[in-house]
């Protein structure tokens, strides 16, 4: 599953206006905005996943990768959610019970039990179940993939809103960073002290 991140929003207008007299600056700044947004959205997806299912932050973001970064010549970053990566059932709060192993996937549902399943501590504490009446072979049990949770709960709509807001936020951050840099350079040329420059930054940018 691929998510494309492209520039848009009010922060962009501010960035364009600010860099209009700085040759070659705009495309570089837009690439920075795209890449910072992609990196931040990876964590945002993880948090959104955790709002739906009972997994740790590490498990939620592990299958999410930034697979393409934006550049001055290609203003698009891409995130990929691996559809084949399924966490061990252990990640869903697996507990050994007399009749089997209980677990909980959705925060909206109660715990469920897989009869005759068992947890093997020596094998990483994962959940297994025999595939026949014999002792072996045994099958390691897994829960739904992050991609499946994302699709099932139609989280793409939430992603679109988060990306739009983050792009605007990151663009405004770059506007501030550029303005701070300009004020510092002008201040040094004018012979101002560091304290005086910092005071000017505070008075103009807050």
Q: Which two tokens stand for residue 61?
A: 């973001």
| Single pTM value for the model | 0.85
CB 124 within 8 A of CB 90: yes
Instruction: Report which of 107, 79, 113 is spatially closest to residue 2, judged by C-alpha positions.
Output: 79
User: How high is the pLDDT of residue 42?
Assistant: 97
149-169 pLDDT, tens digit each? 999 999 999 999 999 999 999
Mean pLDDT of 54-73: 96
Please determine, for residue 8, whether its predicted confidence score (pLDDT) is greater than 60: no
CB 106 within 8 A of CB 50: no
CB 174 within 8 A of CB 16: no
The band of 1, judged by pLDDT with boundaries at 50, 70 and 90, is low
Instruction: Please state, in angstroms and rounded to a whole number, the distance separating the CA atoms of residues 7 and 130.
Output: 51
Helix (H) or strand (E) holding 17: helix 10-19
The band of 191, judged by pLDDT with boundaries at 50, 70 and 90, is very high
Mean pLDDT of 105-120: 97
Instruction: Please state, in angstroms and rounded to a whole number, the distance separating the CA atoms of residues 61 and 38.
Output: 13
């Amino acid at each position: 599953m691929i998510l494309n991140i492209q520039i848009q929003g009010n922060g962009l207008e501010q960035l364009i206006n600010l860099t209009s007299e700085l040759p070659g600056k705009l495309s570089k700044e837009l690439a920075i905005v795209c890449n910072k947004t992609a990196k931040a959205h990876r964590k945002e997806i993880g948090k959104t996943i955790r709002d739906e299912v009972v997994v740790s932050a590490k498990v939620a973001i592990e299958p999410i990768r930034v697979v393409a970064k934006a550049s001055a010549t290609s203003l698009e970053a891409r995130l990929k959610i691996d559809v084949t990566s399924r966490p061990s059932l252990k990640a869903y709060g697996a507990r050994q019970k007399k009749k089997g192993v209980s677990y909980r996937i959705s925060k909206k549902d109660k715990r469920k039990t897989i009869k005759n399943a068992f947890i093997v501590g020596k094998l990483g504490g994962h959940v297994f179940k025999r595939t026949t009446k014999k002792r072996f072979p045994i099958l390691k049990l897994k829960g739904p993939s992050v991609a499946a949770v994302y699709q099932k709960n139609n989280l793409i709509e939430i992603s679109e809103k988060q990306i739009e807001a983050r792009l605007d936020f990151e663009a405004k951050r770059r506007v501030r960073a550029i303005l701070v840099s300009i004020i510092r350079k002008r201040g040094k040329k004018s012979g101002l002290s560091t304290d005086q420059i910092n005071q000017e930054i505070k008075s103009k940018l807050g």
